[in-house]
Amino acid sequence: MKKAFRLNVFSLGTALATTVLLLSQAGAQTPPEPGLLPGIELTNLSHSTPKQFAAFPLVAVNRGNPNLVAVAWRLYNAPTNSGALEKDRQSDCHVSISKDGGKNFTHPNLLAYFQTKKEGDDPHFWGCNAPWVNLATDGTIYVGGSLFSGVTGMASDPRQGRAGVSVSTDGGASWSKMAYGITIANFAPGVKGLGGGMTLIDTPFDGANGVVDPITGTFYSTVGGWVSASSDKGKSFSPVYSTGGGTLTAAFGVAATAHIVNDTTTFPGAQCPCLAFGQSTDKGQTWKHTLVAEKDQFNPTGTVRYPVTAADPAHRGHFAIAVYAPDHQSVKVYYTADDGKNWKVAAPKPGPATVPVANVNMTSPGYTSDGHLLVTWRAFNNMGAFNTFVAMMEGDSFGPTVKVSAERSAYPVAITLGNYLGDFSTWVQGNDSAAFVAFPYAPGGAVLDVYLAKVPLSLLK
């Protein structure tokens, strides 16, 4: 799916280059879009330049301390050449940390902690992609990403990578040495690496993530369909198990994923591709998969490899999965209150009539600390520009759809000239008073930065 999205973005070509002009012309002919609702706070976390850009943000809220909020994001040079050598390619992973509920942030660059020198059979890992952050209830901060080595045929080290994690137990003042949760040497019997291989080059690393169970404190290192667990803050990890694929979440001792099933044997009689929900109660060792939705009930395409699922930190057995409607012009959320035995579905209300929508993308669900279901997404118009939205569920229906971008955003031309955008999803979590949405934002189409929107929950009811 990532490759398809990349082609879609760059096939816009000159249309993106003239987006700003077209938008200004359109604005003279149609009613203006609404701005931000009073009370929404937007914070620029990256402050990049026309020669660099920030993207790939992920937001986390501490479930025990509503004032601790963090956003992981990556800084690139523009245009980005994914085949460039170390000296020519910027691949920095940052985390922005707030201890006052999103009013003020520090922004440490963690690449110094992530980079590793050649050691044994492991090459020199100098680049970071797919950054993530997660917060344990006790205040422990987990940050990581996909580390990678040199370019095949152009460096002394073979092309490979690792899913890494660095840990801070003092609020970000210091960080542990990067640890690898997913390694070939730690694969459980019968579990295979990329393409079924079992050499170091077969180690999965692209699209890494890290999840901490807010109830048990178990930390999970994940990459695609592989997971390993740690009960000692990343000092040691369980064997690497197969999940069946999916973006992992966890709460109350249950790890869960959502993924697309294309075969005809997993759910006999079902019309697939199907949306499936997987859960494990033994830290990823074994999985139970249940059917959520069948073909024609949702659209399985999108910019992320798997549908994103979220676990309710306040109510045991509550999970949600965000997907797209069949026409890809709106989002819908499947949710369960009984560990996936039964599922309901709800769709957010339409956005403002003056905001054009050709298709929606980059959706994900999240929860507030007291258990309200949130969903965020981006609505694109025909010229490639987009707005970002959020909504919250009350009972079995959503409240108002709220725009968190003050104006439409267009990818700057300098970014589209490269071969990698690195912008695949939008993330949301909330404390007991506000929802936090992290998203790339380029007002005027000039510079792409990572922004955090703080939306009072009162606006979403």
Q: Does the pLDDT value for residue 2 go beyond 50?
A: no
For the chain, state the CA radius of gyration. 21
pLDDT confidence tier of residue 421, bands split at 50, 70 and 90: confident
Pinpoint the alpha helices (H) of 216-342: none
CATH, domain 2-460, list 1.10.260.40, 3.90.45.10, 2.40.40.20, 2.120.10.10: 2.120.10.10
pLDDT score, position 161: 93
Q: Give me the percent of the chain exceeding a pLDDT of 70.
A: 92
Please indicate whether residue 356 or residue 325 has the higher confidence score (pLDDT): 325
Q: CA quadruple 199, 200, 205, 209: dihedral positive or negative?
A: positive
Structure confidence at residue 368 (pLDDT): 98
pLDDT at residue 3, as a whole number: 34
d(CA 261, CA 382): 30
| Tens digit of each residue's pLDDT (9 = 90 or more) over 162-216 | 999 999 999 999 999 999 999 999 999 999 999 999 999 999 999 899 999 999 9
What pLDDT, in 10s, does the model give residues 75-87? Answer: 999 998 888 888 8
The predicted structure's pLDDT at residue 438: 98
Does residue 7 register a pLDDT over 70?
no
Q: Is the pLDDT of residue 341 over 70?
A: yes
Give me the pLDDT at residue 132, please.
97
Q: pLDDT band at residue 5, thresholds of 50, 70 and 90?
A: very low
Q: At CA 145, angle to CA 319 and CA 183, rounded to 5?
A: 95
pLDDT confidence of 153, banded at 50, 70, 90?
low
Tell me the average pLDDT across 119-132: 88
Domain definitions of the chain by residue range: 2-460
**Proportion of the chain above pLDDT 90, given as a percent:** 75
Mean pLDDT, residues 455-461: 98
d(CA 3, CA 415): 16
Q: Helix count (H) and strand count (E) of the chain?
A: 5, 28
Q: Which amino acid is at 205?
A: F
Label residue 9 by pLDDT band (50, 70, 90): very low
Q: What is the pLDDT of residue 223?
A: 95
pLDDT for res 29: 53
Query: Of 24 and 321, which is predicted with more confidence?
Result: 321
Average pLDDT rounded to a whole number, residues 85-104: 93
Amino acid at 317: G
347 to each of 73, 306, 331, 335, 456, how far by Cα in Å?
29, 19, 6, 11, 21
What mean pLDDT is reported for the chain?
Answer: 90
Q: Which range scores top for mean pLDDT: 8-12, 238-242, 383-387?
A: 238-242
Can you say whether the dihedral through the CA atoms of 182, 126, 98, 450 is positive or negative?
negative
Q: What is the pLDDT of residue 155?
A: 64
**Predicted confidence band at 305 (pLDDT cuts at 50, 70, 90)?**
confident
pLDDT higher than 70, residue 24: no
Give the mean pLDDT of 38-46: 98
If you average pLDDT over residues 384-411, what whole number do you get?
Answer: 95
Over residues 230-244, the mean pLDDT reads 96
Which of 84-88, 126-130, 180-184, 439-443 has the least mean pLDDT? 84-88
What pLDDT score does 444 carry?
87
- The pLDDT score that the predictor gives to residue 156 is 67
Q: Is the pLDDT of residue 35 over 60?
A: yes
Q: Among 211, 120, 194, 114, which residue's Cα sits nearest to residue 160?
A: 194
User: What pLDDT does 373 receive?
Assistant: 98
Cα angle, residue 141 at apex, residues 129 and 283 outer, rounded to 5°: 85
Report, as an integer, the average pLDDT of 338-346: 98
Q: Is 354 helix (H, G, I), strand (E, B) or coil?
A: coil
32 compared with 131, residue with greater pLDDT: 131
C-alpha distances in Å from residue 350, one per residue of 116, 324, 379, 400, 428: 47, 14, 11, 8, 19
Is it the case that residue 23 has pLDDT exceeding 50? no
